[in-house]
Amino acid sequence: MALRDQLHVMVVDDMSTSRGLILQALDSFGVRNVQYAADGPSALQALGKQPAHLVLSDYNMPGMDGLHLLHALRSDARLKGVGFILITGKADRQIIEAGKKLGMNNFIKKPFQPKDLLASIEAVVGRL
């Protein structure tokens, strides 16, 4: 069984258009076990019920940004090992450095091409 058939992914983005583009890209890669949430608290709640192997999270979201979500994941004994890729429109050095300190596995800058997303994911989980 291919990794793409076993991989469980959580997509977190407050913008439905961005979320849709990511979901569409995952579908084109053959990744079918995908959950999504419009904000960090909803994602944490869903992950508490059904953990994922990988979280793809937008950085700029109201209430709880991507780095706060990452911190919450790394602080939870059940979720601290989840892979985490930050998706950001502004890949400022301080955001990336803060993400690395919190245990971010990778990041990708918006706008991105599906092949770039695939490369970012495969760098974390292995070949799909």
Domain boundaries, the chain: 9-122
Sorted by sequence, the CB contacts under 8 Å of residue 98 that are 6+ apart come out as: 67
Its sign, for the CA torsion 12, 17, 18, 20, is positive
CATH superfamily of 9-122: Response regulator (3.40.50.2300)
For residue 107, pLDDT over 90 is answered with yes
Q: Concatenated DSSP letters for 45-70?
A: HHHHHS--SEEEEES--SSS-HHHHH
DSSP letter assigned to residue 49? H
Question: What integer is the mean pLDDT of 45-65?
Answer: 96
| Cross-strand pairs, 55 | 10, 84
Indicate yes or no: pTM above 0.85.
Answer: yes
Residues 64-93 pLDDT 10s: 999 999 999 999 999 999 999 999 998 799
